[in-house]
Each structure stands twice: as C-alpha cells, then as structure tokens.
Amino acid sequence: MTSFDPRAALDGLYDEYSRRANAIRHDLGLQRSADFAEQAGERQNDEVLNALLVEAEAGLRLVGLARLRLADGSYGTCQRCGEMIEPARLQALPAAEFCLACADRAPL
C-alpha cells in the first residue's frame, strides 16, 4: 500500500467538489425559456440541481474543516470520541470527521 497523503487527497476532493458546484451554478444560471410548460420542467430540474449544489457545498465545507484539522494537528482524530480514525476509512473518505464506530452510531 502506498503512503496516504491527506493533503493531496483533500486537495483532489476540494477540486472535484468545486468543479461540480461551478458546473451546477452554471446550469442554474442558464437562460430560462419563455414557454410556460418548459418552465415547469425547468423548475423541477432546478430542484434537483439545487439539491446537488447543496451536497457539493456541504462537501466543500467538510474538506475545509478537514484542512483546518490538518493545520492544527487534529486530523485523523475522531471529533466525537477522540480515537484515531481508521486509516482505510480516511483513505476512502479523506474528510471523515468520525471513526467508524461513531459514524455508525450517528450517521450524518
């Protein structure tokens, strides 16, 4: 197993969420059609896009918090019980705030 670089992983994750959020904002900003029936369909589509945008922004927030923990040395420590977060879990979810046991107990 290659060594895990949380900083690079968080950077990659941040870029991914940023790209996604920007693409969604772009789609939401596209010109509305004048046709009423089409507008109704667009509104539904907007709801889906807004939900995806909220998700991407929540991801950006989590990555930001993980970067702060990296800076203050608490990265990789469960924010609830204070135990180390499993390395495999951090590799899969670099912005994870909780260890597996705590995340299982209270899913976010």
**Beta carbon nearer to Zn ion, 58 or 81:** 81
**Beta carbon nearer to Zn ion, 90 or 99:** 99
Tell me which of 78, 90, 95, 96 binds Zn ion, using CB under 5 A.
78
Per-residue buried b or exposed e for 20-56, using 16+ beta carbons within 10 Å of the residue's own CB: bbeebeeeeeeeeeeeeeeeeebeeeeeebeebbeeb
**Beta carbon nearer to Zn ion, 49 or 65:** 65
User: What are the residue ranges of helices labelled H in 1-108?
Assistant: 6-29, 36-72, 87-92, 100-105
Q: Is 99 in the site for Zn ion (CB under 5 A)?
A: yes
Q: Is 81 in the site for Zn ion (CB under 5 A)?
A: yes
Q: Is 80 in the site for Zn ion (CB under 5 A)?
A: yes
Q: Is 102 in the site for Zn ion (CB under 5 A)?
A: yes
Q: Is 71 in the site for Zn ion (CB under 5 A)?
A: no
Q: CA-CA distances (angstroms) from residue 5 to 19, 60, 76, 90?
A: 21, 18, 12, 10
Contact set with Zn ion (CB under 5 A): 78, 80-81, 99, 102
